[in-house]
């Protein structure tokens, strides 16, 4: 039997870029990691090594740098869309869709022209474009959240392998990976991102949680409530277990005071929350 | 407008396990990292915090350890399948499908009961099971390959942002992430895995490469040729660029001798190669 | 010829600990990674396997947890000292000196009992104790700093391998690893740490830098000026190079606007700045 | 009080280099990460920003690449020494000593000109040179070792915080970080390294271990016995704990069969073994 080439993509990953805006009274810096992925009529290079339709990934990198110089950055969603559209319009007969992914690493000003990086947290944007349309997904990664009370885990199914005791008060901690799809462009991408982020943080804290799943659903719903243009929220929440240390052998009680934050294994909860009547996702998640 | 819960999963990630078989004349060790993912009728815990259908991820972990003791490990594909089927049959009305993912970390014997770990490379297995059927995907990760000649990149598309020169002799290097789907169970999982791995390594080396895409397609096809039961191969090949260092300022030539292996960015090539007439994937990749 | 056992230590590394103070109106959390190192008369276990003088590292771990419960945390310098003194006084005939190292991972309050982790930055403390005395070193790690102007690199030595052009305006960026030794205990460990940190950040920004070495010396001196009790400052500053991207081939200028932050290699600058007349270091750095 | 500049160094870290030897019938590849550190009369750049004695770290990088082209690699100890001597002789009035550190990443041949990387293990060499002399330290890093029996831990000291049970049969596992100092140059650096490495692996396996400390001392001594030119061995051995899983709740015994390899915390053992009458270390470890 013969072989058949199936779905395939190519592109450039992890293009590091620092942009300095020197036009105002104080410099502004933007620190991005950019990825480009193209899909389309690229079968020839796989099948025969004919590269005549292949734009080198080096040229994709050059385009990212040149666009940063020519157009600046602006909202990362705009920057990603500008690039995604470039790649699809530059080769309309070859590129079926282009995806540009941006992770922004924030810097905080500490002086006129000096900055410190306060966080491992990153703001993300992914734009997928065809000739006819484009879809925008925003998100964040590496946001650590923890609450010291207001979390229980009870009434769960027990089988022959269940030893976990029920608890009505535990530490709940996670590292949020969130992505939300816009059904329409908000008036202000940055404000929309800020409102979504605040909704995730606030709802994690204010929800009395009977399971991390319940917190997930509440957090996703809060993003939908906070930003009208968001159509759908996808969340990935590892359950970073905090184990109560047994201090009884040393004559000490331990009423939820001293914990061992365990590395592995960890529970992993994923879920999607979408707005009823939201427009279809198109290629947003492809 | 209301909210709607969409696709969701839960499970335990990165369960570390060492198994020692003490029955033979010499101990055998198996070192695994195991993940469990369940999908099905778990909406209640998201919507209301009702956990009555939720088997704790802690119990999933216990099951993994208990099964290792009760049944041993055997081929990782068998171990993954045994567990996946357990989770789906134990809660047939709730669990639509269970996926068990195994990464094996190899150890090489250095003495009667002593071992050294030779490699960052990992062997992988993923089994997805429903009540009616199951699907097996095997693979490997972290396999570094490099060739010093027999690789060119020419005749590519040039646009306004293209500065890359053509080359008829370059270093080609990658870190293989491969997964292949079995259409039927091979007689010997370990032998099949070994044959697939050898096909990847051998074909990378023997293919005169006009693009990494071409190498990818050849490597995928070689796995299909080497193992009859493989239906489909998915490959992810980062192009680890090796930049020729310019030694001209120091009065030295550099005819492909001294290179700078660059970290980032890197080209990223993905592709699927499937057997014509192969059975459909079912839930193998879901 | 015979063999001789030389310097040796043992201990427990990376003890993870979360402490929740529930006594006030709102919970307070402290998230630490603790290490213990003992040196002294432990030759027997190396030479013959006689463990009678060896307190298990498991017991060291238990002690850390029990002390957190019994005494709380307080300033990390105090917590480290309390533990270091415990290990040296509990085995006065065996332990010559004990070192306890603490890295604190900060959390920021987001609600009554909920928190977010804002930073990859860690606050560090190391206390080395003997029966007679102890020495305290504080510090920080993972503080990213960048300035967009006010940095030049000119007038350097050129040899046959020098191609670097001079520059009078470059990006200067680093990831600060700082440790400072106290000659005496400040009244408030937290305030002293805060003042030292601000001095590092402020001086990096305000110093017109002719070399990263010069910035290093100014930063070290600023810590000495800011905190009277600091006797000595040790700094390790990688020079995170930002390479100006050549956009000439695309008809674009690039007057210090678009940079490529390069991963490797990087310059690495270390240095010590001490106060004249400061007390000797004793075992602080051993 | 005034400030005083104390010990300081500068240099280039993590210079990545691939060298291809194309002279023989088959290509040979060498994959290195090189670091350069200089110490000496560099106070001016710290104190005033006067860089006239500062060879840019960029030039150091260029020198590494140029020397690879001009002289090839050979034994990594030779390569490191050649470079260290270059840096100290090129600026004899400024550089007090130069240290060059090399980590070699091994590749295994899989075909005429193709290779796979079998290991996370790295071979290391560090040479420190002054105008008058040089000192060579070789080593390895990332070597994972495990034994399934022949390891006990009993008779240890117990205090109020000790809960650890004694064991006469446990898993012993570690990740070896070894460095050994040569008192004289062996005839064949590669053969000496191989013999030292085999001694470490073999002795770990063959030693009936009453403590990891005892294994450490035996391993260090074995290197001294295996290579006459080695004067001193320094070992850092984390104790990678393998916790026996309690399967009693599931009606299963577990006689040292199923273990949980725990990530953190871990015991950490260090020690030095030296040859009686060995020459003094000079600047080998500075």
pLDDT tens-digit profile of B90-145?
Answer: 988 998 888 888 888 878 787 778 878 765 777 888 888 888 888 888 898 888 88
Q: Is B255 left (phi over 0), alpha (psi -120 to 50) or beta?
A: beta
User: pLDDT for C75-109, tens place per residue?
Assistant: 888 898 899 889 989 988 998 888 888 888 878 78
Nearest Cβ partner for C257 among A69, A202, A255: A69
For residue B47, which residues of chain A lie inside 8 Å, CB to CB? 214, 217
- Give the pLDDT of residue B21: 87
D163–A263 CB contact, under 8 Å: no
CA distances from A198 to A193, A205, A225 (A): 9, 11, 12
Per-residue b or e along D152-168, where b marks 16 or more CB atoms closer than 10 Å to that residue's CB = bbeebeeeebbebeeee
d(CA B244, CA B255): 9
Residues 6+ apart with CB under 8 A from D280: none
How far does A111 lie from chain B, in Å, by closest CA?
Answer: 30
Residue D86 is encoded by which pair of tokens? 């270059």
Coil/strand/helix, residue A141:
strand
Residues 6+ apart with CB under 8 A from C280: none
Which domains, ranges and CATH numbers included, belong to chain C? 7-132 (3.10.270.10), 140-286 (3.10.270.10)
Q: What crossing angle do the helices spanning C57-71 and C76-90 adopt, rounded to 10°? A: 130
D22–B117 CB contact, under 8 Å: no
How far does A145 lie from chain B, in Å, by closest CA?
Answer: 19
Catalytic residue among C9, C45, C57, C94: C57
d(CA B247, CA B243): 12
Residues 6+ apart with CB under 8 A from C195: C226, C227
Burial grade of A7 (CB within 10 A; 0-12, 13-18, 19 or more): exposed
pLDDT for C121 beyond 80 = no
- Give the pLDDT of residue A1: 52
Q: What is the DSSP string of B50-118?
A: --TT---HHHHHHHHHHHHHHH---SHHHHHHHHHHHHHHHSTTTEEEEEEEEEE---EE-SSSEEEE-
Mutate which of C16, C17, C18, C200 to disrupt the A interface (most A C-beta within 10 Å)?
Answer: C18
* Bridge partners, A178 (sequence order): A140, A235
User: Do the beta carbons of residue C52 and residue C103 sit within 8 Å?
Assistant: no
Nearest Cβ partner for C161 among B163, B250, B263: B250
How far does C111 lie from chain D, in Å, by closest CA?
Answer: 30
* Bridge partners, B258 (sequence order): D19
Query: Which residues of B are tagged catalytic?
Result: 12, 57, 241
Mutate which of D38, D153, D161 to disrupt the C interface (most C C-beta within 10 Å)?
Answer: D161
Q: For residue A265, which of B91, B60, B22, B144 has the smallest C-alpha distance?
A: B60
Coil/strand/helix, residue D44:
helix
- Give the pLDDT of residue D46: 85
d(CA C196, CA C207): 16
pLDDT for D1 beyond 80 = no
d(CA C93, CA A17): 58
Q: What are phi and psi of B207, to 5 degrees?
A: -75, 125
Catalytic residue among C12, C147, C193, C242: C12
d(CA B138, CA B121): 14
D161–A263 CB contact, under 8 Å: no
Q: For residue D269, which of C16, C38, C128, C126 has the smallest C-alpha distance?
A: C38
Q: For residue A39, which of A79, A5, A15 has the smallest C-alpha distance?
A: A5
C1 interfaces chain B, CB cutoff of 8 Å:
no
Q: What is the DSSP string of D136-180?
A: EEEEEEEEEEEESSSB-B-S----TT--PPPBSS--EEEEEEEEE
User: pLDDT for A143-154, tens place per residue?
Assistant: 888 888 888 888
Q: Which H/E stretch holds residue A261?
A: strand A258-261
Nearest Cβ partner for A160 among D163, D250, D263: D250
d(CA B242, CA B262): 6
What is the rounded end-to-end Cα distance, in angstroms, of chain D? Answer: 30
- Return the number of other C-beta atoms located less than 10 Å from residue D277's C-beta: 10
Q: Which H/E stretch holds residue C200?
A: helix C189-206
For residue B264, which residues of chain C lie inside 8 Å, CB to CB? 263
Query: What residues 92-151 of chain B have any CB closer than 8 A to a CB of chain A?
Result: none
- Give the pLDDT of residue A229: 95
Neighbours of chain C (3+ CB pairs under 8 A): A, B, D
Nearest Cβ partner for D263 among A249, A250, A264: A264
Residues 6+ apart with CB under 8 A from B65: B15, B17, D245, D247, D258, D260
User: Do the beta carbons of residue D205 and residue D93 sit within 8 Å?
Assistant: no
User: pLDDT for A13-28, tens place per residue?
Assistant: 888 888 888 888 888 8
Residues in chain B: 286
**A-D C-beta contacts closer than 8 Å:** 9
pLDDT for B271 beyond 90 = no
A247–C65 CB contact, under 8 Å: yes
d(CA D235, CA B217): 46
Nearest Cβ partner for D250 among A161, A250, A264: A161
Q: For residue A128, which of A32, A53, A35 has the smallest C-alpha distance?
A: A35
- Give the pLDDT of residue D195: 96
The whole-number average pLDDT for the span C196-218 is 90
d(CA A98, CA A39): 6
Concerning whether C241 is annotated as a catalytic residue, the answer is yes
Q: Which H/E stretch holds residue B223?
A: helix B212-226
What ipTM does this complex have? 0.84
CA B272 to chain centre: 13
For residue B151, which residues of chain A lie inside 8 Å, CB to CB? none
User: pLDDT for B13-33, tens place per residue?
Assistant: 888 888 888 888 888 888 888
Question: Would the CA dihedral through D70, D71, D73, D77 be positive or negative?
Answer: negative
Nearest Cβ partner for B10 among A5, A37, A267: A267
User: Do the beta carbons of residue B18 and residue B30 sit within 8 Å?
Assistant: yes
- Give the pLDDT of residue C220: 93
Query: What residues 201-230 of chain C have any CB closer than 8 A to a CB of chain D?
Result: 209-211, 213-214, 216-217, 220-221, 224
Concerning whether D113 is annotated as a catalytic residue, the answer is no
Task: Identify the top-confidence range among A72-76, C11-15, C138-142, D221-225.
Answer: D221-225
For residue D161, which residues of chain A lie inside 8 Å, CB to CB? 250
Q: Which H/E stretch holds residue C268?
A: strand C266-275
Query: Which residues of A are tagged catalytic?
Result: 12, 57, 241
Concerning whether D241 is annotated as a catalytic residue, the answer is yes
């Amino acid at each position: 039997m013969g072989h058949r080439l199936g779905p395939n993509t190519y592109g450039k990953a992890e293009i590091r870029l620092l942009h300095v805006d020197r036009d105002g009274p104080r410099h502004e810096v933007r620190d991005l990691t950019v990825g480009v992925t193209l899909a389309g009529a690229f079968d020839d290079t796989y099948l025969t090594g004919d590269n005549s339709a292949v734009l080198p990934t080096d040229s994709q990198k050059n385009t990212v740098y040149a666009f940063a110089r020519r157009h600046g950055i602006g909202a990362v969603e705009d920057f990603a869309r500008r690039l995604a559209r470039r790649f699809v319009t530059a080769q309309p007969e070859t590129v079926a869709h282009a995806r540009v992914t941006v992770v922004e690493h924030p810097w905080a000003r500490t002086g006129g022209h000096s900055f410190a990086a306060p966080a491992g947290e990153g703001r993300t944007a992914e734009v997928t474009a065809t000739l006819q349309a484009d879809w925008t997904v925003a998100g964040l990664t590496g946001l650590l959240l923890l609450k010291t009370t207001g979390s229980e885990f009870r009434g769960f199914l027990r089988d022959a392998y269940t030893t976990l005791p029920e608890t009505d008060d535990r530490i709940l901690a996670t590292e949020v990976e969130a992505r939300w799809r816009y059904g329409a462009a908000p008036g202000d991408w940055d404000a929309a991102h800020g409102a979504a982020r605040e909704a995730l943080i606030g709802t994690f804290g204010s929800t009395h949680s009977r399971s991390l799943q319940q917190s997930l659903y509440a957090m996703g719903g809060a993003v939908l409530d906070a930003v009208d243009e968001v159509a759908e929220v996808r969340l990935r929440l590892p359950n970073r277990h905090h184990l109560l240390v047994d201090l009884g052998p040393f004559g000490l009680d331990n009423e939820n005071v001293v914990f061992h934050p365990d590395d592995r294994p960890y529970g992993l909860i994923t879920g999607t929350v979408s707005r009823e009547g939201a427009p279809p996702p198109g290629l947003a998640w492809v």
